[in-house]
Chain A
Amino acid sequence: MSEERTTRAFQVNGEDHHVSFSVHHSLLEVLREELGLTGTKHGCELGECGTCTVLIDGKPILSCLELAAECEGRQIETVEGMMQGNELHPLQDCFADLGAAQCGYCTPGILLAAQALLAENPSPTRDQIVSALSGNLCRCTGYHKILEAIEWAAARMRGDEKYRPPESAIYGDPVEVEKASDG
Chain B
Amino acid sequence: MGNAEHPEEQEGPVTSDQLRLIGTPFRRVDGRAKVTGQTRFADDLSFPRMVHMKLVRSTVPHAKIVGIDTKKASEIRGVVGFLTGESMPDPFGILPVSQDEHALCIDKVRFVGDPVLAVAALTEDQAHEAALAVEVEYEPLETIATIEEAISTPEPRIHDYGDEGNLHKKLSMEFGDVDEGFDEADQIFEDILYFEGNTHLPLEQHATVALTEETDRVTVYSSTQTPHYLHRSLAKVLGLPAARIRVIACPNGGAFGGKSDPFNHEICAAKMALTLGRPVKICLTREEVFYCHRGRHPVLMKIRTGVKKDGTLTAQHLQTALDGGAYGSYGVASTYYTGALQTVTYELPKYRFESIRAFTNKPPCGPKRGHGTPQPRFAFEVHLDKIAHELAIDPAQLRLQQLVAADSVTSNWLKVGSMGLGQCIEAVVAGSGWNQRHGKLPEGRGLGLACGSYLSGAGLPIYWNHMPQSGVQLQLDRSGGVALFCGETEIGQGSDSVIAAITAEILGIDLHDIRLCVADTDLTPVDLGSYSSRVTLMAGNAAIQAAERARTLVARGAAEKLDVPARELVFAEGRVFHGENPDHGMTFQEAVVEAESRFGTLGTTGSYTPPRSPGRYRGAGVGPSPAYSYSAAVVEAEVDPATGIYRIEHVWMAHDVGKCINPALVMGQIEGSVYMGLGEAMMEEQVFRRLPKKRSGALVHKHPSMLEYKSPTFADMPPVTSYIIEDPDPNGPFGAKEVGQGPLLPMMPAVANAIFDAVGVRVDQVPIAPHMIRQAIEARERGKPGRFGPKSFPEIEFGVPLRVPTPAEGGDGKATNVDDAGVRAGTGTMTERKDAVKGEN
Q: Give me the interface of A with B, judged by CB distance under 8 Å.
A: 1, 3, 22, 32-33, 38-46, 48-49, 51, 78-80, 82-83, 88, 91-93, 95-99, 101-108, 111, 129-131, 133-147, 168-173, 175-183
Nearest Cβ in chain B — how far from A93, in angstroms? 8
The reply to whether A182 and B427 contact each other, CB–CB distance below 8 Å, is no
Q: Which residue of B lies closest to A129 (CB)?
A: B714
The reply to whether B425 and A180 contact each other, CB–CB distance below 8 Å, is yes
> A39-B37, A141-B668 are contacts. A173–B722 as well, Cβ < 8 Å?
yes
Q: Judge whether B251 is part of the interface by a CB distance below 8 angstroms.
A: yes
Chain A residue contacts of B667, Cβ below 8 A: 99, 145, 169-172
Q: Judge whether B256 is part of the interface by a CB distance below 8 angstroms.
A: yes
The reply to whether B392 and A140 contact each other, CB–CB distance below 8 Å, is no
8 Å CB interface, B399-456 against A: 400, 423, 425-427, 429-431, 434-435
The reply to whether A102 and B37 contact each other, CB–CB distance below 8 Å, is no
The reply to whether B714 and A136 contact each other, CB–CB distance below 8 Å, is yes
The reply to whether A139 and B31 contact each other, CB–CB distance below 8 Å, is no
Cα-based distance from A178 to B400 in the complex (angstroms)? 12
Closest 5 CB pairs of A and B: A39-B37, A103-B492, A104-B34, A105-B253, A142-B675
Cα-based distance from A29 to B201 in the complex (angstroms)? 22
The reply to whether A181 and B394 contact each other, CB–CB distance below 8 Å, is yes
Nearest Cβ in chain A — how far from B680, in angstroms? 12
Q: Judge whether B36 is part of the interface by a CB distance below 8 angstroms.
A: yes
> A46-B705, A49-B706, A145-B668 are contacts. A108–B37 as well, Cβ < 8 Å?
yes
Q: Give me the interface of B with A, judged by CB distance under 8 Å.
A: 25, 27-28, 30-41, 43-44, 46, 77, 125-126, 128-129, 200-205, 251-256, 285-286, 388, 392-394, 396-398, 400, 423, 425-427, 429-431, 434-435, 491-494, 654, 663-668, 670-676, 705-707, 711, 713-715, 717, 720-725
Given A46-B707, A139-B711, A177-B426, list of 10 further CB < 8 A pairs?
A38-B43, A48-B707, A88-B32, A96-B34, A101-B35, A102-B672, A103-B254, A138-B203, A168-B721, A183-B393
| Most central of A169, A180, A183 by chain B CB within 10 Å | A180
Nearest Cβ in chain A — how far from B225, in angstroms? 11
The reply to whether B202 and A139 contact each other, CB–CB distance below 8 Å, is yes
The reply to whether A105 and B254 contact each other, CB–CB distance below 8 Å, is yes
Chain B residue contacts of A51, Cβ below 8 A: 203
Cα-based distance from A164 to B671 in the complex (angstroms)? 19
The reply to whether B663 and A180 contact each other, CB–CB distance below 8 Å, is no
Nearest Cβ in chain B — how far from A99, in angstroms? 4
8 pairs, CB–CB < 8 Å, chain A vs chain B: A38-B43, A103-B255, A103-B491, A106-B203, A107-B34, A170-B663, A177-B427, A183-B388
Cα-based distance from A129 to B259 in the complex (angstroms)? 32
Chain B residue contacts of A41, Cβ below 8 A: 37, 41, 203-204, 253
Cα-based distance from A172 to B424 in the complex (angstroms)? 13
Nearest Cβ in chain A — how far from B705, in angstroms? 6
The reply to whether A88 and B35 contact each other, CB–CB distance below 8 Å, is yes
The reply to whether B435 and A178 contact each other, CB–CB distance below 8 Å, is yes
Q: Which residue of B lies closest to A25 (CB)?
A: B125
Contact of B37 among A48, A79, A91 (CB under 8 A): A79
Cα-based distance from A177 to B721 in the complex (angstroms)? 15
Chain B residue contacts of A44, Cβ below 8 A: 286, 705-706
Contact of A131 among B36, B434, B672, B715 (CB under 8 A): B715
> A96-B31, A102-B492, A143-B675 are contacts. A171–B663 as well, Cβ < 8 Å?
yes
Nearest Cβ in chain A — how far from B289, in angstroms? 9
Contact of B717 among A98, A143, A170 (CB under 8 A): A143
The reply to whether B393 and A48 contact each other, CB–CB distance below 8 Å, is no
Contact of B720 among A129, A144, A170 (CB under 8 A): A144
Cα-based distance from A168 to B724 in the complex (angstroms)? 10
Nearest Cβ in chain A — how far from B752, in angstroms? 20
Nearest Cβ in chain A — how far from B721, in angstroms? 5
Q: Which residue of B lies closest to A180 (CB)?
A: B396
The reply to whether A142 and B671 contact each other, CB–CB distance below 8 Å, is yes
Chain A residue contacts of B494, Cβ below 8 A: 99, 102
Cα-based distance from A78 to B28 in the complex (angstroms)? 23
Cα-based distance from A93 to B34 in the complex (angstroms)? 11
> A170-B663, A170-B664 are contacts. A134–B714 as well, Cβ < 8 Å?
yes
Chain A residue contacts of B720, Cβ below 8 A: 142, 144
The reply to whether B27 and A101 contact each other, CB–CB distance below 8 Å, is no
Nearest Cβ in chain B — how far from A102, in angstroms? 4
Contact of B129 among A1, A45, A49, A143 (CB under 8 A): A1
Contact of A178 among B36, B37, B430, B654 (CB under 8 A): B430
The reply to whether B27 and A103 contact each other, CB–CB distance below 8 Å, is no
